[in-house]
Amino acid sequence: MDYAVSSKAPALLKADCLVVALNKGATDLPDTLPDATRKLISACVKSGDFAGKKQQTLLLQQPPELSATRLLLVGTGAEGALGVQAFLQLAATVAKGVAATGARSAAWLLDNIAVKEHDTAWIVREGSRGVADNTYRYDTYRSDKSGAPALKRFTFLTSAPAADAKQALAEGTAIAAGMALAKDLGNRPPNDCHPDYLVTVAKALADEYPALKLKTISEKQAEKLGMGAFCSVARGSERDGQIMIFEYQGAKGAPVALVGKGITFDTGGISLKPGASMDEMKYDMCGAASVFGTVKAVCELQLPIHLVAVVVAAENMPDGRASRPGDIVRTLSGQTVEILNTDAEGRLVLCDALTYVQQKYKPSAVVDIATLTGACVVALGAHAQAVYANDAELAEELLLAGEDCGDRGWPMPLWDDYQEQLDSPFADMANIGGPKAGSITAACFLSRFTKDVSWAHLDIAGTAWVSGGKLKGATGRPVPMLTRYLMHKAGSGDD
């Protein structure tokens, strides 16, 4: 879909549908609307057809004195300025409301909308991201694609300075494009989305953006390098594991590194998972998908930053060569791990990738992203990703980036008190810490491989996808949080 910004008067803009969002009671009618249109809206309010309630919509045909053929009223449910989450919910309602009309072009009047502690440029950026996110559709495997929305062009009407509005639109649509790539990869079935496929996607991405360099490490090469933890997971599948390293050098100096878990399907290995909802284990590569998406957004924005992004990909299968509970493996760091549960495989592939990126690139900061533990879902549900860090400043940067764009995280403890749960009588550590504090002990495990670098771990098991029913699918999180974090690091993310 094409996106644009315009400062035209609403009466002059030609579109199939004009959207006007109004507060509770619809007392905030924009002055830029023609008098006849304002009178029509007031009449709808007086008659009780529209009250500005949250998610309420009213579609009016042939509105007077407008070039648009439809007028869509959308309620905010608020009496004043909106919060970030309320605005994102409004954008979702707008996108779905317009898509339901059959309009091919639409425009959203923004000047009567206020968001607490944010300016109009922010509204354009997050509004465009929200509209794009909520018009996403994955129909690659559908024979009948006739249900796709007709919407082809969306314009944001704003009196903000043109340069600011265009920059904000570019940022919002770039992040949305990254989210769409992450969702495409997460939603793709595991028979087609496997480690080798991710390599083809990585190569295509590097071909698309000349500033992006790509290096790949095969399973055999990883074994020669000493990545015993990664290989212990990968060798359980007939498909070889793969590691992809992107480097984007938009600035000098030590890079920021992202490391994404890419288990393209997780059976649990010998510690086999229950059969119920196992189809959703294709989403166990959503950490890797978010790295792909963030890399795309960074390239689209041409951020002045040095970024290294690692995708570590494997299938966790119960083949004859699969790891057994009780096996001991040696990691790239030299530390040994007793595998007590083969379903705790994500930390095994990540620990070698974390060591590798530190040895080869000497990053200033490392952030790993993984659908790591069911315990995180129990703790935080689907609203916030868990944020662990050995550096309070890094944690705060990620949390603030998430708050800014509505892709929220929540700080979690990384105390030494939990480390003893990983004690093993036979190796330097075990790969699980027992039934208590499972998300925390998983982070503690990774912390043993990141002692000499500023490091954060995002457990996105609750936020990376929506489970069950017709709404099931990848969310594209935490691409917004990561991109905003990198924008701030690059000095181009200030509102």
Nearest to 154 by CA among 88, 93, 109: 109
Query: Which residues make beta-bridge pairs with 474?
Result: 465
Q: By C-alpha distance, which of 220, 405, 397 is closest to 297?
A: 405
Question: Are 225 and 356 spatial neighbours (Cβ–Cβ below 8 Å)?
Answer: yes
Between strands 153-157 and 105-109, the pairing is parallel
Q: Are strands 17-22 and 105-109 parallel, antiparallel or unpaired?
A: parallel
Instruction: Indicate if 347 belongs to the active site.
Output: yes
For residue 327, which amino acid is it?
D
Close Cβ partners of 278 (under 8 Å, ≥ 6 residues apart): 267
- The two structure tokens encoding residue 202: 């990585």
Give the active site residue among 137, 273, 330, 472: 273
Residue 410, number of CB atoms within 10 A of its CB: 14
Is 273 one of the catalytic residues?
yes
Whether residue 149 has a cis bond before it, omega within 30° of 0:
no
Distance CA 296, CA 185 (A): 13
Q: Tokens 């990664």 identify what position?
A: 230
Token pair of 118, please?
A: 């944010």
On the CB side of 168, CA atoms within 13 Å amount to 27
Helix axes 286-301, 479-490, angle to 10 degrees: 40
* Given the residues 347, 448, 477, 489, the one annotated as active site: 347
In whole angstroms, how far apart are CA 147 and each of 16, 100, 449? 19, 10, 48
The answer to whether 403 touches 488, Cβ cutoff 8 Å, is: no
What positions carry a catalytic annotation? 273, 347
